[in-house]
Amino acid sequence: MIRYTLKRFLSLCISLAVASLLIFFVIEIAPGDPASFMLGINAQPDTVAALRAELGLDVPKFERYLAWTQGMLTGDFGMSYTYRTPISQMVADRLWVSLPLALFALALSTIIALPAGIYAAARRGKTGDVAVMSATQLGVAIPNFWFAMMLVLIFAIKLRWFAGGGFAGWDKGLGAVMWSLTLPAISLALPQAAILARVMRSALLDVMNEDFMRTARAKGLTTTQTLWKHGLRNALIPVLTIIGLQFSFLLAGGIIIEQVFYLPGLGRLVFQAISARDLIVVESVVMLLVFAVIVVNFAVDLAYATVDPRLRART
Amino acid sequence: MNRNLIIGLILSAIAILAALVSFIWTPFDHVAMNIPAKLQTPNLTHWFGTDHFGRDIFSMIMVGARTSIAVAFVAVGIGMGLGIPLGLWAAARKGSYVDELIMRANDLIFAFPSLVIAILITAIFGAGAVNAIIAIGIFNIPVFARVVRGAALPIWEREFILAARVAGKKAARISVEHILPNVLNLLIVQATIQFSLGILAEAALSYVGLGAQPPTPSWGRMLADAQTLVSIAPHLALIPGFAIIITVMGLNLMGDGLRDHLNPRTRVART
């Protein structure tokens, strides 16, 4: 297990290093110099040069890359070009919106998907199964931002139960925050719930064909008992993997939903930074998201290997 | 043919037909504004109503189908064009340096949140259909590479491959002549799935203003335009949304149906 962990950790480090290189240089070759963009087209060349020096843009690219990655490792993401505030502070503020949103959506998706998947598997081939599977077909086909618009139309505009957008702010208390994140979380959770329900169903169906399930039935357990005692526990392994992967997806996938609901999260920060050519903010936020995905994948791999020793030998 | 496949084929055919017919005929000019006729609900003249500029939504949906399908189609093409050779190569050189490099690069692309990177690419290199295609296409490469490699590995162990090797065929030729035909079914299924994901991704990019630019209609941008008007004219948001859902669902059902249809085991089990 130690060998496996070390090997996975090494590949995690390589992935992070390559990802940081890619992100930095892809963004750096982008057309448009931040300094000239900030000063407008009528700026004098020496003013632009002065601003470039102030922002540290006159330093060679590779040195800037090293400084950026070193800063990242110590939690110092540098200064935003446009806001002139530390990026780590900006990111931390936005995370207080994006992180609860992702967690809320993940919880919703799990609460909806697991019972739905189990129900469908238990009723395989019957009306209940067909109904759940048709609903999941619809769930994966609906664009989440469109679903978000429909939720706003029904629950905010027509019924006036929720606000159509905006974030309550943590000073208003947890209840107000949850209330303002409810519609975004539902729209974000829907396609994920559909995927998860399908995974849950097929994982359970796979397990049901196993010999130990027949043995359990043979020793006198009822179908429901076998399902709960033996089936579910074994079927949960692939399901947990997907839940882990979905978290990072939800964190990144919130970008569009944040646009729909005008939520001041990481997604809106990226959009604002892109339009203001605040490259260092874009780089840092994207790197953070990639970091989250890679680390979650790593954790999922390790968890998986702990549960299923066969995997350690294979890789 | 199974039920999924038939429903999927019909739904996808509607979208493809709408796109094709739009080249020769639309009920109205999709860019022609007619302010006096703005925000009409669906009626006999304007089947799907009109938008805030009085443009005919039915015509815009038809031309929008063209954009969605073209972007997703080319993006899948990029994924297949690069992903399949890479996957075949990795499988032929299983366990070698090349295999390891290709698969690690794939893992890396998978680690990037695709939508974030697509947004980044289009934002940096300019919004537009071509950049949207590239952004979506890049993420299709590892998908196809992985599917091909996974399916090709067990085939390499088979006896007819051994026979081909004994006959003196090189790995590249075996890959094309023997491996590829045997993984084709899987690729067709995967292509329909990626196609539907491409349509969703194109809609999302257009929705945030990074896809096809005006005056080219696109379903995603129609939704973005509808956002501020949704309370007074819900049909502006409903219709493009339904267009996306029907197309994506059609492709997904077709993928599911094809998987069952092309797999001899499930086909026998069903009959």
Q: How far apart are CA B196 and CA B72, in angstroms?
A: 8
Is residue A181 a part of any domain in this protein?
yes
Taking the CA of residue A62 and the nearest CA in chain B, the distance in Å comes to 20
B230 touches chain A (CB under 8 A): yes
Helix (H) or strand (E) holding B243: helix B235-262
Sorted by sequence, the CB contacts under 8 Å of residue B67 that are 6+ apart come out as B129, B202, B206, B211, B212, B216, B217, B218, B219
**Closest to A278 measured CA to CA, from A23, A39, A33, A21:** A33
Is residue A37 a part of any domain in this protein?
no
pLDDT under 70: residue ranges of chain B = 1, 123, 264-271
Provide the number of structural domains found in chain A.
Answer: 1
DSSP A162-188: S-SS----GGG-HHHHHHHHHHHHHHH
Is residue A256 a part of any domain in this protein?
yes
Surface-to-core class of residue A36, CB atoms within 10 Å of its CB (0-12 exposed, 13-18 middle, 19+ buried): middle
Provide the chain B residues 122-141 that lie in CB contact (below 8 A) with chain A: 123-125
Is residue A170 a part of any domain in this protein?
yes
Torsions phi, psi of A86, nearest 5? -60, 135
Q: What is the pLDDT of residue B271?
A: 41
pLDDT digits (tens, 9 = 90+) for A98-148: 989 999 999 999 999 999 999 998 888 889 899 999 999 899 899 999 999
CA distances, A112 to each of A100, A120, A143, A196, A251 (Å): 18, 12, 18, 9, 19
Of B113, B226, B237, the CB nearest to A289: B113
Is residue A264 a part of any domain in this protein?
yes
CATH number of residue A198's parent domain: 1.10.3720.10
Three-state SS string over A20-78 comes to: HHHHHHHHHCCCCCHHHHHHCCCCCHHHHHHHHHHHCCCCCHHHHHHHHHHHHHCCCCC
Tokens describing residue B110: 């998978």
pLDDT digits (tens, 9 = 90+) for B2-52: 888 999 999 999 999 999 998 998 888 877 788 887 878 888 877 888 888
pLDDT digits (tens, 9 = 90+) for B165-184: 899 898 889 999 899 998 88
Sorted by sequence, the CB contacts under 8 Å of residue A311 that are 6+ apart come out as A304, A305
pLDDT under 70: residue ranges of chain A = 30-32, 308-315
Contact at CB, B207 and A270, closer than 8 angstroms: no
B153 touches chain A (CB under 8 A): no
Of B104, B208, B231, the CB nearest to A157: B231
Q: How far apart are CA A44 and CA A47, in angstroms?
A: 5
Contact at CB, A149 and B115, closer than 8 angstroms: no
Three-state SS string over A240-302 comes to: HHHHHHHHHHHHHHHHHHHHHHCCCCHHHHHHHHHHCCCHHHHHHHHHHHHHHHHHHHHHHHH
Is residue A212 a part of any domain in this protein?
yes
Is residue A247 a part of any domain in this protein?
yes
Phi-psi region of B255 (alpha: psi -120 to 50; beta: other; left: phi over 0): alpha
Tokens describing residue B181: 């035909």
- How many angstroms from the chain centroid is the CA of residue A52? 34
Is residue A77 a part of any domain in this protein?
no
B249 touches chain A (CB under 8 A): yes
Q: Which domain holds residue A96?
A: 91-313
Q: How far apart are CA B60 and CA B51, in angstroms?
A: 10
Contact at CB, B223 and A270, closer than 8 angstroms: no
Best probe of the B interface among A23, A94, A130, A149, by most B CBs < 10 A, is: A149
